[in-house]
Amino acid sequence: MDSLHATGFYVSSGVLLIGALAVALLPGREQRGAGLLAVGLGLAGACYSLSAGFAGAVAFVCYAGCAVMVAGPRYRSIAGTAGVAWRQAGALGAALVLAVLVYSSWRGNFVSAPFKGGPFNAVALGRLLFAHDVVATEAIALFGLLAIVGAAAGWRFRERTR
Amino acid sequence: MTAGLVAALVVACAVVAVGVFGATWRRDVSAAVATIPVMFAGACLAFVGVARFAAAGGTHLLGQEFAVLLVVAAVALVALGLGIAGREGNR
């Protein structure tokens, strides 16, 4: 990886981490939506730096959609039932997950190989998605369809009961 | 300056951990649902990094393929979660 791509990767990673922290910590839904947009932008930039331009473009579009849903007027907040002790235990678990994953990544002995693909890879990915692994693609498409139908039904139910 | 598989994996781990922290720390269930794509973003970055640096010969793009499927699944999960929250929020 040359210096320009490495710089792009680190800058995009910074945007990604700032957006993730904004989603996790900021109070307002508009701020969380902006954070999700920053996550999408950072992920797209990081993917492009890693020669995965098509995956980055798909990620940016999908995360922009998530940001619109989170920041939109149909957003409703529901108070959770977990106590403070469980939430604190969850936060400690997140710190433990971070420590274990970073240690295993840092100390791991990975085989490195040269990458021979292009920067965008849309054709090769299309062949994988629609020819080699078409069942997985159709399963995800079915799941997405069911989720959108369920979301529409949920929002419609709320509108009717007003 | 250069970046390798370890850098990609460390950033991915940090993003996953921030997502896990947000999902467990948030009192609002809808806000916790919004952190699910953050976890998926970390997983996507790890898959793309492995496909870029650790593909053993040739162009093995399975990591990129799985990353694309993951982000689509993340959108579906957020839509479903917020839809259910909108339904339950009126009760």
Contact partners, residue A72, CB within 8 Å, separation at least 6? A33
| Of the partner residues A13, A90, A133, the one whose CB lies closest to the CB of residue B65 | A133
- The residue-averaged pLDDT of B40-67 equals 85
What is the residue type of A12? Answer: S
pLDDT exceeds 90 at position A16: yes
Q: What are the tens digits of pLDDT across the range A59-74?
A: 999 999 999 999 988 7
Tokens of A39: 């996550």
Please indicate whether, in this complex, the C-beta atoms of A55 and B49 are within 8 angstroms of each other: no
Please report whether residue B5 resides in a domain.
Answer: no
In chain A, % of residues over pLDDT 90: 57
Per the structure, the complete domain to which residue B62 belongs is given by 28-89
Q: What is the pLDDT of residues A83-129, one digit of tens each?
A: 888 888 988 999 998 999 899 888 888 877 778 778 888 898 999 99
How high is the pLDDT of residue A119? 82
pLDDT at B74: 94
Segments forming the whole domain that contains residue A14: 1-77
User: What is the rounded distance in angstroms from the CA atom of residue B79 to the CA atom of residue A127?
Assistant: 28
Residue with tokens 């720390």: B25
Average pLDDT of the residues in B10-26 = 93
Does some domain include residue A159?
A: no
Domain count, chain B: 1
* Total structural domains within chain A: 1
pLDDT one-digit tens code per residue, A23-32: 999 988 999 9
Out of B21, B61, B82, the one facing A69 most closely (by C-beta) is B82
